[in-house]
Amino acid sequence: MTAHPEIFGRNFKPYPARLAPLPPDGRVKVLQFGPSLSVKGGVTSVAQLILDYLPPYVSLEHIPTMEEGSTIAKYSTFARAVQILRRSLESLDPTIVHIHMASRGSALRKLILAEMVARAGRPLILHAHGSEFDGFHRKLPAAVRRNVNRSLQRANVFLTLSSQWRDFYVNECELSPSQVVVLPNPVKLPVDVPDRSGRRQAVQFLHLGRLGDRKGGYDLVNAFAGLPEGLRNRARLVMAGDGDVEGMRKLAAPLGDRAVVHAWIERAERDRLLAQSDVFALPSRAEGVPMALLEAMANGLPSITTPVGGIPDVFRDGQEGVLVTPGNIDQIRAAMVHMITRDDARLAAGRAARERARQFDVHMYARRLADIYQRIAPVAEIKEIA
């Protein structure tokens, strides 16, 4: 990608004469760039968990690159992030830069930051979250796609969420296999989960995330509406998130109190719904590794989901629940029937989901990420390049 003077600044020095070595206490300094921690979504959840659980020898500062609000506010936030990065690169501090990126405009903006870091010769981690980056990448003009690939290849470490995404970045973006590290999203395991075996109320299906087509919200409502009346009366569908809230409410309205659609909810309400529910439903059409699915599994919920993105790396059909074909309403409905009528299978899948989630515990994730930081920490001087 071409450097623009208005972004890098006229006095930007891409190659410092030297970097200070790590301090005697071995602390690793990291600048993490990603959406503001007030922004809704899975990337924010991951960034917050990283902040909360890294070991104390890692000093990490989060720099927002995007805020909710007007276009002007969003531009101003990104401009501030550029200036903070520029000042950091002009200093001698041995700082690692960790950049979270998604798709479309998010990816292109973050690659500006990545180019700044690479030109300054500093350690760079690119962390790919975009569930639709593959489609976005394939639609780019060939010349732009080559430039994007070159920027991605600048990373010292390129983090992907799954083996499927690793293969995409290696095969289509031409990254080196040794450069790419698969690091599935982390989850915080609750200490206790409710005993769902003695419940007498209707089976409650829960859907969390952006409401709309990509996460299968419309498909889920249509599948629930198509249940035989006797089974539908033994079940309830609860949905919550941002996106097309009003459209989802309109679609669910004929179902009366059997289907409830909430707007975005805070963490305490989310935890309450997870505890009250019996099955998680996320029949997505595109994903990275959805945080909502991992959180449901950690809370002992079986799931109905799809084999897209990184889901097959964390979820096994017939063990933690049921995998269905994206967009196949008949399969979603059949899976709901199975969950309503087979209490034993539903409860067993919930127990298996809880055990599976232990593999993605945030404490193990934080230790692995800290190891990556230590491996690329700038302990040697960088010689001046004429």
Task: Check residue 385 and give its pLDDT.
Answer: 37
DSSP state of 288: S
Task: Check residue 25 and give its pLDDT.
Answer: 53
Nearest alpha-carbon partner for 97 in 156, 53, 22, 161: 156
Tokens at residue 331, please? Answer: 């399969």
| Helix and strand counts by DSSP (H, E) for the chain | 16, 12
Task: Check residue 93 and give its pLDDT.
Answer: 82
Task: Check residue 105 and give its pLDDT.
Answer: 86
Task: Check residue 92 and give its pLDDT.
Answer: 79
Task: Check residue 186 and give its pLDDT.
Answer: 97
Task: Check residue 198 and give its pLDDT.
Answer: 76
Tokens at residue 10, please? Answer: 């006229």
In this structure, CATH architecture of domain 5-186+363-376 = 3-Layer(aba) Sandwich (3.40)
Tokens at residue 121, please? Answer: 């010769």
What is the C-alpha separation between 145 and 147, in angstroms, rounded?
5
| Long-range residue pairs from 212-215, CB within 8 A, at least 24 positions apart, any chain | 212/243, 212/244, 212/247, 212/248, 213/285, 214/131, 214/132, 214/284, 214/285, 214/286, 215/241, 215/282, 215/283, 215/284, 215/285, 215/287, 215/290
Task: Check residue 379 and give its pLDDT.
Answer: 56
Nearest alpha-carbon partner for 378 in 95, 15, 33: 95
Q: Which residue has the tokens 């609860």?
A: 238
Which residues have C-beta within 8 Å of that of residue 116, sequence separation ≥ 6?
3, 7, 8, 12, 82, 85, 86, 89
Q: E-strand spans in 154-210?
A: 157-160, 180-182, 203-208
Which residues have C-beta within 8 Å of that of residue 180, sequence separation ≥ 6?
158, 159, 160, 166, 169, 170
The sign of the dihedral angle between the CA atoms of 283, 105, 376, 44 is: negative
For the chain, give every domain's residue range. Answer: 5-186+363-376, 203-360
Please report which helix (H) or strand (E) contains residue 305, including its range.
strand 303-305
Task: Check residue 26 and give its pLDDT.
Answer: 60
Q: What is the CB-side half-sphere exposure of residue 54 using CA atoms within 13 A?
A: 23
Task: Check residue 201 and give its pLDDT.
Answer: 77
> Which CATH number, 3.40.50.2000, 3.40.190.10, 3.30.420.10, 3.20.20.120, labels domain 203-360?
3.40.50.2000
Q: Which residues of the chain have pLDDT under 50?
A: 1-24, 380-386
Exposed / middle / buried, residue 120 (Cβ in 10 Å: 0-12, 13-18, 19+) = buried
